[in-house]
């Protein structure tokens, strides 16, 4: 993929993690996870971890996002599609 794709991805992911941190202000554990994630992927200062480590980080993020979505859906069971 072109370099611009990765820059756009980092910008969108940074915004998403920052938004998740904003939503989880009351839960310090999730707040910490999302702030660290936003800082790790932020587009200004690239953090070079190597392809293998980034692959592991991507899997961890996937699991965290799924767990967060499941927990949030249990917290608000009457909200569907909103």
For residue 77, the 8-state DSSP code is: T
The pLDDT-based confidence of 62 (bands split at 50, 70, 90) is very high
pLDDT score for 27: 85
Q: What is the dihedral of CA 62, 66, 72, 77, to 10 degrees?
A: 160
Containing 31, the helix (H) or strand (E) segment is helix 28-41
Q: Give the N- to C-terminal CA distance of the chain in Å, as an integer.
A: 33
The average pLDDT across 20-44 equals 90
In the prediction, which pLDDT does 78 show?
63
The pLDDT value given to residue 76: 64
d(Cα 65, Cα 52) in Å, to the nearest integer? 20
Quote the CA–CA distance of 45 and 48 in Å, as a whole number: 10
Q: Where are the domains of the chain?
A: 3-75
């Amino acid at each position: 993929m072109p370099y611009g794709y990765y820059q756009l991805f980092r910008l969108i992911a940074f915004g998403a993690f920052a938004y998740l941190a904003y939503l989880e202000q009351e839960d310090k554990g999730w707040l910490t996870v999302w702030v660290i994630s936003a800082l790790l992927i932020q587009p200004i200062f690239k953090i070079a971890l190597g392809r293998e480590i980034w692959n592991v980080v991507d899997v961890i993020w996937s699991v965290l996002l799924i767990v967060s979505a499941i927990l949030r859906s249990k917290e608000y069971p009457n909200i569907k599609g909103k």
